[in-house]
Amino acid sequence: MSILIDKNTRVVVQGITGRDGGFHSTKMGEYGTKIVAGTSPGKGGERTPSGVPVYNTVADAVINEGANTSIIFVPAPFVRDAIMEAADAGVSLIVCITEGVPTLDVIEARRFAQTKGVHLIGPNCPGLISPGKSLVGIMPGNIFKEGSTAVISRSGTLTYEVVYNLTMSGIGQSTAIGVGGDPVVGLYYIELLKMFQDDPDTDSIVLIGEIGGDAEEQAAKYIKENITKPVVAFIAGQTAPADKRMGHAGAIISSGSGTAAEKRTAFINAGVPIANEPSEIVGYLGKGCGP
Which residues 6+ apart lie within 8 Å of 290 measured at CB?
147, 148, 149, 169, 170, 171, 172
**Catalytic residue list contains 248:** yes
Residues 110-137: tens digit of each pLDDT: 999 999 999 999 999 999 999 999 999 9
Mean pLDDT rounded to a whole number for the chain: 91
Is residue 123 reached through a cis peptide bond, with omega within 30 degrees of 0 on the bond before it? yes
Exposed/middle/buried for residue 26 (C-beta within 10 Å: 0-12, 13-18, 19+) = middle
Distance separating alpha carbons of residues 204 and 43, to the nearest angstrom: 45
Q: Is 116 helix (H, G, I), strand (E, B) or coil?
A: coil
What dihedral do alpha carbons 26, 105, 3, 204 form, nearest 10°? 110
Q: Could you tell me the CA-to-CA distances from 13 to 61, 138, 157, 232 in Å, in that order?
A: 10, 12, 23, 34
Distance separating alpha carbons of residues 92 and 88, to the nearest angstrom: 10
CATH homologous superfamily for the domain 140-289: Succinyl-CoA synthetase domains (3.40.50.261)
pTM: 0.92
pLDDT at 241: 58
Low-confidence stretches of the chain (pLDDT beneath 70): 1, 237-257, 287-291
The values of phi and psi at residue 237, to 5°, are 100, 20
Determine which one of 119, 248, 263, 264 is catalytic: 248
The values of phi and psi at residue 196, to 5°, are -70, -35
pLDDT at 210: 87
Which residues 6+ apart lie within 8 Å of 98 measured at CB?
72, 73, 74, 75, 76, 79, 122, 123, 124
C-alpha R_g of the chain: 19
Q: Is 192 helix (H, G, I), strand (E, B) or coil?
A: helix
Distance separating alpha carbons of residues 208 and 194, to the nearest angstrom: 16
Identity (one letter) of the amino acid at 221?
K
pLDDT at 188: 96
Per the document, the length of the chain is 291
Cα-to-chain-centroid distance, residue 290: 21
Q: CATH for 10-121, among 1.20.1260.10, 3.30.420.40, 3.40.50.720, 3.40.1260.10?
A: 3.40.50.720
Residues of the chain within CATH 3.40.50.720 domain(s) are: 10-121
pLDDT at 156: 84
Beta carbons of 92 and 64 less than 8 angstroms apart: no
CA 282, 283, 285, 288 torsion-angle sign: positive
